[in-house]
């Protein structure tokens, strides 16, 4: 019987050399695959653990073609890559995540329209092109509202909250980067996310729901299990499964959502690859999001994720590294992951740590006692 999956020693090409690609590569290598990464930065975090790096820009068609020739399958670790450039190699090599999924998720306007077509709850929104559009349309949404660039937004970049009319002019400066989405503010009680995986056989699996806490629009902590009602947890997983099916997903997808006090769920954003809020899966589950992603893009059967133990994951930003290093000897149960980034900057994600616990409140109390993340 012919096999419809990649065998060990096949080569997985990764577009993007950051921490997500690094952890993808580590997962792939543990399964016997070879990896090659395309990234413009020499000795990128992914390159440090891959077999080869092509040093080139993400829209370098010659370099992408070289990646395609050397790879049996290609994946990408982030959305801000050139859609047109990806199209040029899609005929030459399998890209299971696909260029269509990329085109939807890298543009907030397309993403909102797609989510509407899938009949999932999203915040009311309008598209704005000129600053005058904000003045004309914001009353239909009310204050506060959030203005977001349609492209290239991450970790809170490219968005601004409009509390009153006096904020409009400043927020309108985002329009110099292109059309924007103006969203009504969702009075949420919690932010959650679901990592969902699907393979080419249509098998779909979800990871436990993560409760996410942000600071300065950057993910600070993920708490698993999320502190939400069972019915909300089940509905969140069902929404993620529906979206994975609609998108004909191959790989993993992160679905970020808001939950209101009444238990209503609003889908906020999609990320068509492993996600920061899923890092807890490395230690806390029977399979990590990265291994599941590799299995999915290689056409292998998926494992059903199970939570082995409750967990708290916290990001280590540039300003936290020294204190974490100074205190790690006092906390041998911390699972610390550093990403191999050469330059340490404030608010730059340098690593993360995960605590497995019987009681997430105990872990949260322990982290607070360290005073590292004050």
**What pLDDT sits at residue 68?**
97
Claim to verify: residue 179 and residue 235 sit in the same structural domain: no
**What pLDDT sits at residue 2?**
43
Alpha-carbon distance of 17 to 25, in angstroms, equals 10
Alpha-carbon distance of 299 to 320, in angstroms, equals 39
Claim to verify: residue 217 and residue 347 sit in the same structural domain: yes
Residue linked to tokens 């993007």: 16
SS3 content of the chain, % helix, strand, coil (to 5): 35, 30, 35
pLDDT along the chain (374 residues), means of 10: 79 97 98 98 97 95 96 92 86 91 92 94 95 93 94 72 93 90 96 97 97 95 98 98 96 98 96 97 98 98 98 98 98 98 96 98 98 97
Claim to verify: residue 151 and residue 286 sit in the same structural domain: no
In 3D space, the residue among 240, 267, 268, 215 whose CA is nearest the CA of residue 374 turns out to be 215
Claim to verify: residue 278 and residue 321 sit in the same structural domain: yes
Q: Check residue 285 and report its DSSP letter.
A: B
Q: Check residue 301 and report its DSSP letter.
A: P
The answer for residues whose C-beta is within 8 angstroms of residue 145's C-beta and 6 or more apart is 138, 161, 162, 182, 183, 184, 185
Residue 178 placed within a domain: yes
pLDDT digits (tens, 9 = 90+) for 346-361: 999 999 999 999 999 9
In 3D space, the residue among 152, 248, 133, 140 whose CA is nearest the CA of residue 184 turns out to be 140
**Enclosing domain of residue 331:** 188-370
* CATH number of residue 54's parent domain: 3.40.50.20
Residue 351: phi and psi, rounded to 5, are 180, -170
Alpha-carbon distance of 141 to 184, in angstroms, equals 5
Residue 256 placed within a domain: yes
pLDDT digits (tens, 9 = 90+) for 214-238: 999 899 999 999 999 999 999 999 9
Per the prediction, the chain carries an average pLDDT of 95
Domain count, the chain: 3
Claim to verify: residue 31 and residue 79 sit in the same structural domain: yes
- pTM confidence score: 0.95
Residues 147/171, Cβ–Cβ less than 8 Å: yes
- How many CB atoms within 10 Å of residue 306? 11
What's CA 262's distance to the chain center, in Å? Answer: 26
**Mapping DSSP to helix (H, G, I), strand (E, B) and coil, where does residue 167 land?**
helix
- How many CB atoms within 10 Å of residue 20? 27
Claim to verify: residue 312 and residue 363 sit in the same structural domain: yes
pLDDT digits (tens, 9 = 90+) for 8-29: 999 999 999 999 999 999 999 9
Tell me the DSSP string of 107-163.
-HHHHHHHHHHTT-----EEEE-SHHHHHHHHHHH-SSEEEEESSS--TTTTEEEE-
Domain boundary residue among 142, 158, 184?
184
Claim to verify: residue 308 and residue 323 sit in the same structural domain: yes
Residues 209/193, Cβ–Cβ less than 8 Å: yes
Claim to verify: residue 303 and residue 260 sit in the same structural domain: yes
> Beta partners for 265?
259
Claim to verify: residue 135 and residue 30 sit in the same structural domain: no
């Amino acid at each position: 019987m012919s096999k419809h999956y990649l065998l060990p020693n096949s080569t997985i090409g990764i577009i993007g050399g950051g921490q997500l690609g690094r952890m993808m590569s580590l997962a792939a290598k543990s399964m016997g695959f070879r990896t090659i990464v395309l990234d413009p930065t020499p000795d990128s975090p992914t390159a440090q653990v891959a077999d080869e790096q092509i040093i080139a820009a993400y829209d370098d068609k010659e370099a992408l073609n070289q990646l395609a020739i050397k790879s049996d399958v290609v994946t990408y670790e982030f959305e801000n890559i050139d859609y047109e450039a990806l199209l040029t190699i899609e005929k030459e090599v399998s890209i299971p995540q696909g260029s269509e999924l990329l085109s939807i998720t890298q543009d907030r306007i397309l993403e909102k329209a797609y989510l509407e077509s899938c009949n999932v709850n999203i915040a009311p929104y309008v598209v704005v092109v000129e600053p005058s559009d904000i003045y004309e349309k914001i009353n239909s949404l009310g204050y506060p509202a959030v203005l977001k660039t349609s492209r290239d937004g991450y970790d809170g970049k490219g968005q601004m909250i409009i509390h009153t009319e006096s904020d409009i002019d400043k927020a309108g400066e985002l329009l110099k980067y292109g059309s924007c989405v103006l969203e009504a503010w969702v009075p949420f009680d919690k932010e959650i996310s679901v990592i969902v995986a699907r393979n080419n056989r249509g098998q779909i699996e979800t990871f436990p729901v993560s409760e996410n806490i942000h600071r300065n629009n950057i993910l600070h902590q993920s708490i698993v299990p999320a502190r939400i009602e069972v019915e909300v947890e089940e509905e969140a997983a069902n929404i993620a499964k529906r979206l994975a099916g609609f998108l004909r997903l191959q790989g993993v997808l992160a679905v970020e959502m808001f939950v209101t006090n009444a238990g209503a769920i609003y889908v906020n954003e999609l990320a068509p690859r492993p996600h920061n809020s899923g890092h807890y899966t490395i230690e806390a589950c029977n399979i990590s999001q990265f291994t599941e992603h590799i299995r999915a893009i290689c056409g292998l059967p998926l494992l059903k994720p199970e939570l082995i133990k409750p967990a708290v994951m916290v990001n280590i930003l540039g300003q936290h590294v020294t204190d974490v290093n100074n205190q790690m000897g006092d906390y041998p149960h911390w699972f610390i992951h550093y990403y191999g980034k050469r330059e340490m900057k404030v608010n730059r994600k340098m690593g993360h740590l995960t605590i497995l616990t019987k009681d997430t409140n105990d872990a949260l109390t322990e982290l607070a006692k360290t005073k590292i993340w004050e």
